[in-house]
Amino acid sequence: MQPITTEIVSRTIIKRPADSHKGNYGRIMLIGGNQNFGGAIIMAATAATYSGAGLVTVATDPSNFTSLHARLPEAMVIDYHQTDTLLNLLAGMDVIVIGPGLGTDTGADQLLTAVLAAAHAPQRLVIDGSALTLLAQQARPLPDTDIVVTPHQMEWQRLSGIAIKEQTPTANHDAQQRLGVTAVVKAHRTTVYTDERVWFNPGGTPAMATGGMGDTLAGMIGGFVSQFHDFTDAVLSAVYLHSAIADDLAATRYVVLPHQISTRIPTYMHRFSQIERP
Amino acid sequence: MQPITTEIVSRTIIKRPADSHKGNYGRIMLIGGNQNFGGAIIMAATAATYSGAGLVTVATDPSNFTSLHARLPEAMVIDYHQTDTLLNLLAGMDVIVIGPGLGTDTGADQLLTAVLAAAHAPQRLVIDGSALTLLAQQARPLPDTDIVVTPHQMEWQRLSGIAIKEQTPTANHDAQQRLGVTAVVKAHRTTVYTDERVWFNPGGTPAMATGGMGDTLAGMIGGFVSQFHDFTDAVLSAVYLHSAIADDLAATRYVVLPHQISTRIPTYMHRFSQIERP
Amino acid sequence: MQPITTEIVSRTIIKRPADSHKGNYGRIMLIGGNQNFGGAIIMAATAATYSGAGLVTVATDPSNFTSLHARLPEAMVIDYHQTDTLLNLLAGMDVIVIGPGLGTDTGADQLLTAVLAAAHAPQRLVIDGSALTLLAQQARPLPDTDIVVTPHQMEWQRLSGIAIKEQTPTANHDAQQRLGVTAVVKAHRTTVYTDERVWFNPGGTPAMATGGMGDTLAGMIGGFVSQFHDFTDAVLSAVYLHSAIADDLAATRYVVLPHQISTRIPTYMHRFSQIERP
Amino acid sequence: MQPITTEIVSRTIIKRPADSHKGNYGRIMLIGGNQNFGGAIIMAATAATYSGAGLVTVATDPSNFTSLHARLPEAMVIDYHQTDTLLNLLAGMDVIVIGPGLGTDTGADQLLTAVLAAAHAPQRLVIDGSALTLLAQQARPLPDTDIVVTPHQMEWQRLSGIAIKEQTPTANHDAQQRLGVTAVVKAHRTTVYTDERVWFNPGGTPAMATGGMGDTLAGMIGGFVSQFHDFTDAVLSAVYLHSAIADDLAATRYVVLPHQISTRIPTYMHRFSQIERP
């Protein structure tokens, strides 16, 4: 196991070229948020936007449009029941985040199947939350492209078949190799499994033990892979920064709320972008 | 009568163990908020979330979903008219807060009855606001578990039968013994009655004399009993901190608004968590 | 003409007695906000709440409930089309503010008539915005109680029959005597007319020349007359403080937005409450 | 090409005369925001309001009313499907901004046609976003009054027929002369074309490369031309300030969000208003 280092983060978050526009930073669609879990997709979209994704579209239950816009007018919305429209838009996306607050009913299941069937390289996928539960219930072919899954330990148990107690780095890595996707296993010390290596995140605080933290991480990863070329480095950098911000906030707070992390992403990214590389 | 002391608060709000997750800090359901009093359940849920409850679900009228999410995406929502779904979810909860903005119509009355019938040890209950009025109108069996009621003086009069003028500590304690629940009687100097003792809260300011303060306290108590083991100490600590924050805010404000207290809870909790215990 | 002085404000905003509760600071209902002008009643209610009214109820079009609660969970709401419910609640109110964003259609007209017929001493009335236009179109008997009207110059022209150019203090005072209500005539230098005197407000800035300022003043006056005994002093203090806050904000801002004033009211009130009186 | 200078901005943003009211700073209607792009019109209206427009009305899909008011109670709203009401109100406007989030369906197309047919001197027009795409698809007569279009490079290609690679200042100026309207062509270095001259904006940062920046600029231009007499100077000043604020924010942020610019407009305007002119 290797730690995620500040060197990785600073080589990833580089100064933006002056002559660039929003198209250069990616079009991202976040899919999730049913009538009960709308907050999850709001938090994920907020994280993606503050992470610097160029254009953010949220496909969700229409009951979430107003609360989303009240918090984040920067995002566009579509009703995720309109599958044709969604798939049409999906074709133009660089990144797809599916799962936060999606739920596990039949509609969610069918939507996941449709999205996985439509997605294709070089689109990048972040699969989180309910989508992982659905995948665990019924496997389906994944597109041959960059994919990251972001389970917490229980979701990873469902997905990998490894009981929480037996989730050692070696067992997890074996499972990741079988699945063929990058895996971020969220825990006290989050570990990240790629085809080549096992990483651990040095940061993290129990002040983050509150609902919505995972949705925020999924959105951050989405925002990072939408603008940074190296997929693994982008995922690792998002994981690192998510907890680094929380650690700083926890120096004066017993509990850190997800939105407090998101609003601070641009400042932290700026700091890393200023580090001179040799 | 004994004062609630900082010693109680600091022995309650201890440093979180590094290896913990949101499940360790409790699942809480807050039930209330009809079509007229939706703000009450928003304020209660906000307080519970900032107090560090692990997972917050709000059962309310669907007309409140959007405003709740616009302020607090961290909470999940369910329509409290869907009694079966509500009771199913309720079974998995560690803490139930019922009452803020619930109203007193027939539907509210039936919901209270159903929730009280379904709740059971070791679930903990906070009964507040309209739910106390309903209980005063018609008593019903309470589950044999940790329960705290949070009436203001008029609600306490209805519930205990003791006129406001005659609400002496002794009379109140007698009534508490009859009721068999912890009682937080909110007043200029709030008093707390447990089976063993009578406590008074040293803090409080007339700058708190505004709508929603009680809802915020109920949510804080819910958040505290969801994560701290000793029920009485958790209740006392929430009562103490609620007014301690308000007192500090009132040093420069003629009026303190409920949400201003909630957003400061994590910082205050952090301070108490840093106090070394002998 | 006499200036409104800081002496008046500091004798009005006195320290709150320790042993007081929200009932001591008044129940206020704000009536207004149709489907097009919902923001007006939101801004008025915000000002009333931050001014320290004990309990705030907003009677408005139901399309405004969610946006109101998203900004101000402290307020309760009722649908102003439910006239019977509204009038029932009205009977328990200490203060009524009618007009911000009410509009001038038939429904608004009938509601104004119903409210004016139902209101009675010692309830206090603030009549603003659309309600003044409706009154100018068709006079109707006013209840025999403390009433203040808050027209801008054009509304005052409609109400008093005095053309803007001819709105001299003397002419305005004559009109006020005929109307029999306190009049706050909003202008570059706002003047206030009572049965005894003519006052002018020394503050004010063109940075306030933006929509919603009047709604905010109406809410502030409502909040002040709900808690301070002397009606004239309460009105004068609200007028003074509204522009005093704006003047301070304008020291660094070209434009001052209404909500920026409201959130600062508690701090300014606190300062005046600390001034020792001889 | 000439740079937009601070001299232009400081001669434009002059101290407001003390004896002025909201009517002096313009009535502005912003038209846009369909069911998918509601955030765009929220951001544009926010910018217009913070820029100091006297009275702001938003004509949009009713699904956007609540999120708009939750963020900006200062704005009034009308349903843009009610064409007669819209055109009636339009007649009283000083400035019309059309396009942010309008979409390009038949309804949007017809609305654009109706608005362009109804607008007339001395009303000023800002045409942005979807409205430019519609104009490119089908030309229609423009009213003989002050008009500014605000395309990004792709929209300018559609509108002018000049491919992005060939968008030289000379080619752009030729196209502007044909179109007969002021053109703000948004790019890494934004250029502005008037009948007389070609300007370039010295500021701008890749931190602005995120959705909603253009909507915010359109709203700012609307707010500036609603209160400042010289049309070209008002447009140039808005362009300059929009990126000057972003540049300052980008000194510590990797990404700048549109609403972060809007809330800072009043402070920046104040600074320029304080510069003594010789």
Report how far residue D145's alpha carbon sits from residue D231's, in angstroms, rounded to the nearest whole number: 11
Say which of C17, C22, C52 has its CB closest to residue B254: C52
| Each residue's pLDDT tens digit, B148-178 | 999 999 999 999 999 999 999 999 999 999 9
Q: What is the mean pLDDT of residues A119-137?
A: 97
Residues of chain A with pLDDT > 90, as a percent, come to 96
Model confidence at C42: pLDDT above 70: yes
State the count of interchain CB pairs (< 8 A) between B and D.
4
Whether C43 and C220 have beta carbons less than 8 Å apart is answered as no
pLDDT for the residue D277: 67
> For the CA atoms of B213, B214, B219, B223, what is the dihedral angle to 10 degrees?
90
Say which of C22, C74, C273 has its CB closest to residue B209: C22
Say which of A73, A267, A269 has its CB closest to residue D212: A73
A215 labelled as ligand-binding? yes
Contact B21 A64 (CB under 8 A): no
Report how far residue A59's alpha carbon sits from residue A30's, in angstroms, rounded to the nearest whole number: 6
Contact D69 C206 (CB under 8 A): no
pLDDT for the residue C188: 87
Q: What is the mean pLDDT of residues D206-231?
A: 97
DSSP for D151-212? -BHHHHHHHH---GGG--HHHHHHHHHHHTSEEEEBSSS-EEE-SS-EEE-S---GGG-STT
Q: Which residues of D touch B66 (CB under 8 A)?
A: 66
Sort strands C27-31 and C95-98 into parallel, antiparallel or unpaired. Answer: parallel
Largest Cα span, chain A: 53
Contact residues, chain D to chain A, C-beta under 8 Å = 35-40, 42-43, 46, 63-64, 66-67, 70-71, 152-153, 187-188, 205-207, 209-213, 250, 252-259
Provide the whole-model pTM.
0.97
Q: Which residues of C touch A66 (CB under 8 A)?
A: 66
Contact B257 C50 (CB under 8 A): yes
| Each residue's pLDDT tens digit, A193-211 | 999 999 999 999 999 999 9
Angle of helix C38-50 relative to helix C258-273, nearest 10 degrees? 20
Confidence of residue D19 (pLDDT cuts 50, 70, 90): confident
Q: Which residues of C touch B214 (CB under 8 A)?
A: none
Phi, psi of B199 (to 5 degrees): -115, 150
Closest approach of D216 to chain B, Cα-based (Å): 22
Total residue length of chain C: 278
Model confidence at A276: pLDDT above 80: no
Lowest mean pLDDT: which of A17-21, B23-27, D219-223? A17-21
pLDDT, averaged across chain D: 96
Annotated binding site of D for (6S)-NADPHX: 40, 101, 152, 215
pLDDT for the residue B278: 60
Say which of B66, B72, B73 has its CB closest to residue A66: B66
* Token pair recorded at residue B93: 């909860």
Closest approach of D66 to chain B, Cα-based (Å): 9
Residues of chain B with pLDDT > 90, as a percent, come to 96
Model confidence at B276: pLDDT above 80: no
Residues paired with C58 in a beta bridge = C30, C77
Tokens 């009049």 label which residue?
Answer: C183
| Each residue's pLDDT tens digit, C155-197 | 999 999 999 999 999 999 999 999 999 999 999 899 999 999 9
Contact D18 C206 (CB under 8 A): yes
Q: Which residues of C touch B42 (CB under 8 A)?
A: 69, 73
Residue in chain B nearest C73 by alpha carbon: B39
CB count in 10 Å sphere of residue D1: 12
Report how far residue B271's alpha carbon sits from residue A7's, in angstroms, rounded to the nearest whole number: 33
pLDDT for the residue C19: 87
CB count in 10 Å sphere of residue C173: 18
B118 labelled as ligand-binding? no
From the candidates C60, C130, C186, C210, which should be mutated to test the interface with D, based on the most D CB atoms within 10 A?
Answer: C210
A152 labelled as ligand-binding? yes
Report how far residue D194's alpha carbon sits from residue C41's, in angstroms, rounded to the nearest whole number: 42
Q: Which residues of C touch D59 (CB under 8 A)?
A: none
Model confidence at B19: pLDDT above 90: no
From the candidates D12, D13, D15, D16, which should be mutated to test the interface with C, based on the most C CB atoms within 10 A?
Answer: D16
pLDDT for the residue B72: 98
| Each residue's pLDDT tens digit, B90-108 | 999 999 999 999 999 999 9
Say which of B24, B75, B266 has its CB closest to residue A254: B266
Comparing CA positions, the residue from B34, B41, B226 lying closest to residue B111 is B34
Say which of A46, A64, A209 has its CB closest to residue B24: A209
Contact B73 A252 (CB under 8 A): no
Residue in chain C nearest B72 by alpha carbon: C70
Model confidence at D124: pLDDT above 90: yes
| Each residue's pLDDT tens digit, C64-103 | 999 999 999 999 999 999 999 999 999 999 999 999 999 9
Q: Which residues of A touch C68 (CB under 8 A)?
A: none
DSSP for B66-78? HHHHHH-TTSEEE
Closest approach of D251 to chain A, Cα-based (Å): 8
Model confidence at D242: pLDDT above 70: yes
Residues of chain C with pLDDT > 70, as a percent, come to 99
Q: What is the ipTM of this complex?
A: 0.96
Comparing CA positions, the residue from C147, C112, C118 lying closest to residue C131 is C112
Report how far residue D267's alpha carbon sits from residue D276's, in angstroms, rounded to the nearest whole number: 17
Sort strands B95-98 and B27-31 into parallel, antiparallel or unpaired. Answer: parallel
Contact C53 B187 (CB under 8 A): no
Whether C243 and B230 have beta carbons less than 8 Å apart is answered as no
Q: What is the mean pLDDT of residues A29-58?
A: 98
Comparing CA positions, the residue from D226, D233, D131 lying closest to residue D182 is D233
Closest approach of C20 to chain B, Cα-based (Å): 6
Model confidence at C278: pLDDT above 70: no
Confidence of residue B277 (pLDDT cuts 50, 70, 90): low
Q: What is the mean pLDDT of residues A219-247?
A: 98
Say which of A63, A187, A254 has its CB closest to residue B65: A63
Report how far residue C19's alpha carbon sits from residue C11's, in angstroms, rounded to the nearest whole number: 20
Model confidence at C29: pLDDT above 80: yes
C189 labelled as ligand-binding? yes
Sort strands D27-31 and D95-98 into parallel, antiparallel or unpaired. Answer: parallel
Say which of D42, D213, D255 has its CB closest to residue A52: D255
pLDDT, averaged across chain B: 96
Q: What is the mean pLDDT of residues C28-40?
A: 98
Model confidence at A63: pLDDT above 80: yes
Q: What is the mean pLDDT of residues B251-276?
A: 96
Contact A16 D254 (CB under 8 A): yes
From the candidates D191, D200, D210, which should be mutated to test the interface with A, based on the most A CB atoms within 10 A?
Answer: D210
Contact D265 C255 (CB under 8 A): yes
| Each residue's pLDDT tens digit, B183-217 | 999 998 999 999 999 999 999 999 999 999 999 99
